[in-house]
């Protein structure tokens, strides 16, 4: 099925470890996004990429880096994981037509111990 695919679905890290969350979409969308979802705080934007080759910071970028590898793929990297980064991470994409809304992936549940 067409959509946004995230891997892995679950991950446990020790403090200080690094990892990369992968996201790929097959809808030929230009814009891609990384959000984190925490209880009582809603979804907050970490980084986004309006088009291939560009990335911009969102509301909570500290501790993260991103790479827009090509039009399909947008990865999120935690260089040195901290317990405060325990969260559910969602990737989303949006078509180039301005009227389009978001399509979300199923999420990655990350626990940092």
Partner 1 sequence: KQEVTQIPAALSVPEGENLVLNCSFTDSAIYNLQWFRQDPGKGLTSLLLIQSSQREQTSGRLNASLDKSSGRSTLYIAASQPGDSATYLCAVRLNTGNQFYFGTGTSLTVIP
- The contact mask relative to partner 1 for 4-43 (x = CB under 8 A, - = no) is ---------------------------x-x-x----xxxx
Interacting residue with partner 1 among 25, 107, 110, 112 (CB under 8 A):
107
CA atoms within 13 A on the CB side of 100: 15
Instruction: Name 91's bridge partners.
Output: 34
Burial class (CB in 10 A: 0-12, 13-18, 19+), 29: buried
For residue 100, the Cα-to-chain-centroid distance in whole angstroms is 19
Site for partner 1 in 58-87 (CB under 8 A): 58
* Residue closer to partner 1, measured from CB, 38 or 79: 38
User: Considering all CA atoms of the chain, what is the largest pairwise distance in Å, rounded to the nearest integer?
Assistant: 42
**Residues within the interface to partner 1 (CB under 8 A):** 31, 33, 35, 40-45, 48, 50, 56, 58, 90, 92, 98-107, 109
């Amino acid at each position: 099925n067409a959509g946004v695919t995230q891997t892995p679905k679950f991950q446990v890290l020790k403090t200080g470890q690094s990892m990369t969350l992968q996201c790929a979409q097959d809808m030929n969308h230009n814009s891609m996004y990384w959000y984190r979802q925490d209880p009582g705080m809603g979804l907050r934007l970490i980084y986004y990429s309006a088009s291939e080759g560009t990335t911009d910071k969102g509301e909570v970028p500290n501790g993260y880096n991103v790479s827009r590898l090509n039009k399909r793929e947008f990865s999120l990297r935690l260089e040195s994981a901290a317990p405060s980064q325990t969260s559910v991470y969602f990737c989303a994409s949006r078509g180039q037509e301005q009227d389009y809304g978001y399509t979300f992936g199923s999420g990655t549940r990350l626990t940092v111990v």
